[in-house]
Amino acid sequence: MNIYDMTYQKLCDFLTEHGDKKSRAEIILSALYRNGISDLSLIEIPEKAKKLITDNFEIPTIECIDVSDGGTAVKYLFRLNDGNLVETVLMRHEYGASVCVSTQAGCNMGCKFCRSGRLRKIRNLTAGEIVQQVLYINRKTPLSGISVMGIGEPLDNFENVLDFVDIMLYPKGLALAPRRITVSTCGLVPQIEKLTEMHFPSNLAVSLHAPNNELRSELMPINKKYPLEVLMPAVTEFSEKLNKRVALEYVMIKGVNDSEKCAEELCRLIGESNCYVNIIRYNSSEGDIYECSDFEQIMRFYDVLKKNNIGVTMRREMGSSVNAACGQLRSDYIN
């Protein structure tokens, strides 16, 4: 088993089931996350306990096979134990650094504009494989935030992503503040409802990209299963019950979803809910049928939202120079 798959609770259970003390879990996890120990035999616990750990757990390799440094964004391509490739992006902000992690090898959501989905999902990543992306980068650059927005649909790998978040928040480990983690989804409604029920501690972002069903279903097939009249109430409920603002991501695609009419529709859709819009520049890659909206059009869109008192942020264009947008580096290798 991968030791990084273990939440505090799972490790406690393992230890007690094997006749050891539960209190060992804290020592093991802080050795891994606080002291950065990468050899299980170096953890300072009695020999018998150490044998139990080294007999049952390992630290599988994740090998970095390419790095492209674009200044504000650095993209890492990792090869997992079984040869699958995933991408992780380090983003340097004025206030610190954050990392964008992948949760699946491939993706089944099939969003038309997204590169990640060109390769169908091969498998879910384990919690440990997501953790290892963070640790690899955290060793060199201390991180102040994590976006679960890389390759894959996080809520389609629900249990492992929840374990991952749990491990990142563990107070004797990396101890990230819950608000420092954002999980982004294309809109899997049953899972959003579960997050609300379980009082998910971190933030949620929803990739919206269109203000009506007709357009959204064309861009994002998932909308046929969970259309806006189902999605928006689930998002509003999450926001209200957990008292968190939800980001609605909106990628600006020229002539497709960037008109003032779309902006007005978006305002009506958001209504009184506590959501805000995160405008993202579309990052095009070779052979793409879409391109990014003109700057002037993005500003007109922005102005409509502002005039209607909708909260709006604009993500700085970070990854484009290193092909860091969504599946691009990886697809350079695979195609």
Please give the DSSP secondary-structure letter assigned to residue 287.
T
Q: How far is CA 272 from CA 123, 134, 234, 238, 267, in A?
A: 39, 36, 14, 14, 9
Options 87, 129, 153, 249, the catalytic residue: 87
* Spacing of C-alpha 197 from chain mean position: 20
Q: Which two tokens stand for residue 159?
A: 């249990």
Of 109 and 304, which CB lies nearer to ligand SAH in the complex structure? 109
CB of 25 to ligand SAH, least distance (A): 31
CA dist 332 and 141 (Å) reads 26
CB of 328 to ligand SAH, least distance (A): 8
Could you tell me which stretch among 43-51, 223-231, 236-244, 278-286 binds ligand SAH (CB under 6 A)? 278-286
Identify the residue among 280, 322, 324, 329 touching ligand SAH (CB under 6 A): 280
* Spacing of C-alpha 171 from chain mean position: 21
* Residue 275 lies near ligand SAH (rule: CB under 6 A): no
Binding mask 78-107 for ligand SAH (x = CB under 6 A): ------------------------------
> What residues numbered 179-208 form the site for ligand SAH, per CB under 6 A?
184-186, 207
* Residue 125 lies near ligand SAH (rule: CB under 6 A): no
Of 18 and 224, which CB lies nearer to ligand SAH in the complex structure? 224
Is residue 326 a contact partner of residue 283, using CB atoms and an 8 Å limit?
A: yes
* Spacing of C-alpha 31 from chain mean position: 26
Q: Say what angle helices 127-138 and 158-169 make with each other, to 10 degrees.
A: 40
* Residue 282 lies near ligand SAH (rule: CB under 6 A): yes
Identify the residue among 20, 129, 163, 249 touching ligand SAH (CB under 6 A): 249
CA dihedral 165, 170, 176, 177 (to 10 degrees): 90
- 111 part of the active site: no
Identify the residue among 6, 25, 149, 246 touching ligand SAH (CB under 6 A): 149
Q: How many Cα atoms are found within 13 Å in the side-chain-facing hemisphere of 226?
A: 20
3-state helix vs strand vs coil in the chain, percent to 5: 40, 20, 40
Q: Which two tokens stand for residue 154?
A: 């996080």
CB of 11 to ligand SAH, least distance (A): 28
Angle at 184 between CA 308 and CA 71, to 5 degrees: 95
First-residue to last-residue Cα distance in the chain? 32
Binding mask 203-242 for ligand SAH (x = CB under 6 A): ----x-----------------------------------
* Spacing of C-alpha 226 from chain mean position: 20
Q: How many residues bind ligand SAH (CB under 6 A)?
A: 17
Q: How many Cα atoms are found within 13 Å in the side-chain-facing hemisphere of 263?
A: 24
> What residues numbered 300-329 form the site for ligand SAH, per CB under 6 A?
325-326
CB of 86 to ligand SAH, least distance (A): 12
- 267 part of the active site: no
* Residue 114 lies near ligand SAH (rule: CB under 6 A): yes
Of 14 and 323, which CB lies nearer to ligand SAH in the complex structure? 323
Q: Which residues have a catalytic role annotated?
A: 87, 326
* Residues engaged in binding ligand SAH (CB under 6 A): 109, 111, 113-114, 149, 153, 184-186, 207, 249, 251, 280, 282-283, 325-326
